[in-house]
Amino acid sequence: MGSPKSWSASSRVRRTTAMRWARFCYKVLYAVSFLAAMYAVLAHFRSAPPISSSDSDEEAPPGLDSLVHNTTTIVLSPITRAEQEQRRWIEKPNSLCFGLGNVTILTVTIDLPKAYLVQLRRNRLSYASIHGYRYCEVSTTLESSRPPAWTKVKAMMLLLSFTDIVVAMDADAIIRNNTIRIESILELEVYDLKDKDAIYTNDFQQDRQSEATPKSFINTGVYIMRNTPWIKGFLESVHKFYQSSMFQKNLERDEVMLYRMKNADEFNEHVAIIPFRYMNSPVTQDLDKYEDGDFVAHYAEEHSPDKYRELASQLATMNV
Ligand SMILES: *[C@@H]1O[C@H](CO)[C@@H](O)[C@H](O)[C@H]1NC(C)=O
Ligand SMILES: *[C@@H]1O[C@H](CO)[C@@H](O)[C@H](O)[C@H]1NC(C)=O
Ligand SMILES: *[C@@H]1O[C@H](CO)[C@@H](O)[C@H](O)[C@H]1NC(C)=O
């Protein structure tokens, strides 16, 4: 302690101890604030009410309110492993499911204006509750490096790991006739859909009345898939094509059609294409092939805030 040398040594020790201590404190602070931020984000998602009640209570059809606010329908007691999977899915901060039916309606709602989202949920939940179906919604991306259409494919894969029939409906596809059951589409005799793994519709350049052919362009706005071994391989291939193909800018539809191009016989054996009038009638400014009584109107304009603002006010006046 006496000599300058040892004084400076012990001071260095003290200084390094102080520095270590400071670094430690910094790390603890950093960790605590990181955890707090994570907690805040998670808490936000977990506690976010499914619907803002003041906006929707007035128009909500009977039964819907209890579906939306009654937690007993969301908190499930798992019985099987499949049910446990489902529970995990539901608890993810980016997804919500309501109901327990054997048919699941899936809609991806990334970046939708709130006013529209409220109307859309009303549309989906009233349909699901009438028929005892389940409605699942994904509100944040499951596939951050890709456009939202791929979140739909990913969610479809997840849902089909524990549920039998999933109907994907784009956020701009509105159920207009809620008396039409999915079963009635699956039972359409002319198309013999009983053994099909997937059911798409043709695309909108065809006429309303024209029949779809195995070469028809496909529209992926609304489609039905069953939980089969084939569908898993199919979805995985379609999902993989995105990385390897030169069609990267294009969406799900192009990858599905690319799969068909490469494996035509197999595709046609497993996939049916039915006319859009059954579940995917287009309504755009230039192209209105929807008719009263149709199951779904697909407002297939380019996505934009204006489009959804307009649709939200239209939907508010629709009795669906
Ligand atoms: C919530 O749902 C359960 C089961 O569906 C039902 O028995 C109960 O009455 C509901 N509660 C409310 C407050 O609606
Ligand atoms: C779902 O279950 C209901 C009631 O058991 C049944 O009537 C209906 O056919 C089933 N739907 C499908 C698609 O399996
Ligand atoms: C809904 O569809 C059914 C069956 O096609 C039809 O009988 C009914 O009139 C339609 N409802 C409306 C409101 O258009």
Tens digits of pLDDT across the chain (320 residues) = 444 555 555 666 666 788 888 888 888 888 888 887 777 666 654 444 443 333 333 333 333 344 444 343 333 333 356 656 666 777 777 788 888 788 999 999 998 998 899 889 989 988 998 998 999 999 888 888 888 888 999 999 999 988 899 999 999 999 999 999 999 999 998 898 999 999 999 999 899 999 999 999 999 999 999 999 999 999 999 888 776 555 555 578 888 998 999 999 999 999 999 999 999 999 988 889 999 999 999 999 888 888 999 999 888 888 76
Q: State residue 12's pLDDT score.
A: 63
Residues 15 and 116 in one domain: no
What pLDDT shows up at residue 319? 72
**Statement to judge: residues 98 and 7 lie in one domain:** no
Does 103 sit in the ligand 2 pocket, CB within 6 Å?
yes
- Which one of 28, 47, 66 terminates a domain? 47
The verdict on 113 and 230 lying in the same domain is yes
How far apart (Å, rounded) are the C-alpha atoms in residues 207 and 166?
A: 27
Smallest-distance ligand from the CA of 182? 2
Q: Write down the pTM of the prediction.
A: 0.73
- Reading the block at residue 201, the tokens are 């519709």
Tokens 């800018």 correspond to 249
Domain count, the chain: 2
pLDDT of residue 219: 94
165 lines ligand 2 (CB under 6 A): yes
Q: Do 168 and 269 fall into the same domain? A: yes
On whether both 59 and 42 belong to a single domain, the answer is no
Residue owning the nearest CA to atom 14 of ligand 2: 102
**CA 127, CA 177: separation in Å to the nearest integer?**
9
Q: What residue type is assigned to position 60 of the chain? A: A
Strand, helix or coil at 96? strand
Among 118, 105, 117, 106, smallest CA distance to 181 is for 105
Phi-psi region of 210 (alpha: psi -120 to 50; beta: other; left: phi over 0): beta
Report the alpha-carbon distance of residue 172 to residue 116 in Å, rounded. Answer: 10
For residues 2 and 100, membership in a common domain is answered with no
Specify whether 233 is located in the same domain as 274. yes
**Ligand 3 contacts CB of residue 319 (under 6 A):** no
User: Ligand 1, atom 5: nearest CA belongs to which residue?
Assistant: 73
Determine which residue's CA is closest to atom 10 belonging to ligand 1: 70
Of 9, 26, 47, the last residue of a domain is 47
CB 292 near ligand 3, within 6 Å = yes
Provide the pLDDT for residue 283.
Answer: 93
Task: Output the pLDDT for position 243.
Answer: 65
The size of the chain, in residues, is 320
Whether residue 1 is found in the same domain as residue 20: yes
Report whether residue 224 contacts ligand 3, using a CB cutoff of 6 Å: no
Q: What is the largest CA-CA distance in the chain?
A: 102
Question: What's the confidence (pLDDT) of residue 233?
Answer: 95
Does the Cβ of 222 fall within 6 Å of ligand 3?
Answer: no
CATH number at 255 reads: 3.90.550.10
Res 67: pLDDT: 41
Going by the DSSP 8-state scheme, the letter that residue 187 receives in this structure is: T
Query: Both 127 and 243 in a single domain?
Result: yes
Looking at the structure, do residues 83 and 37 belong to the same domain, yes or no?
Answer: no
Query: What's residue 64's pLDDT?
Result: 39
Backbone angles phi and psi of 218, in degrees to 5: -110, 140
Cα distance between residue 197 and residue 195, in whole Å? 7
User: Domain range holding 110?
Assistant: 53-317
The pLDDT score that the predictor gives to residue 66 is 42
Of all protein residues, the one whose alpha carbon is nearest to atom 1 of ligand 1 is: 70
Alpha-carbon gap, residue 151 to 80, rounded angstroms: 26
Q: How much distance in Å is there from the Cα of 66 to the middle of ligand 1?
A: 7
Residue nearest to ligand 2 atom 4, measured at CA:
102
In the chain, alpha helices (H): 4-47, 53-56, 64-69, 81-91, 114-131, 149-159, 182-186, 229-244, 252-262, 264-270, 305-317
**Residue 65, SS3 per DSSP:** helix
The 8 Å CB, 24+ separation contacts for 201-205 are 201/273, 201/274, 201/275, 201/276, 201/278, 201/279, 201/280, 202/273, 202/274, 202/275, 202/276, 203/276, 204/276, 204/282, 204/284, 204/287, 204/289, 204/300
Starting at the edge strand found earlier in the chain, the sheet holding 103-108 runs 95-98, 134-138, 103-108, 165-169, 218-226, 198-202, 271-274
pLDDT at 161: 87
Probe target for ligand 3 pocket from 130, 131, 175, 177, with the most ligand atoms within 8 Å of CB: 177
Claim to verify: residue 138 and residue 253 sit in the same structural domain? yes
Distance CA 309, CA 113 (A): 8
pLDDT reported for residue 173:
97
- Contact criterion met (CB below 8 Å) for 290 and 297: yes
Residue 167: CB within 6 Å of ligand 2? no
User: Measuring CA to CA, which residue among 189, 149, 144 is closest to residue 169?
Assistant: 149
Find the ligand nearest to 187 CA: 2
Which ligand is nearest the CA of 131, by number?
2
Could you tell me if 239 and 301 lie in one domain?
A: yes
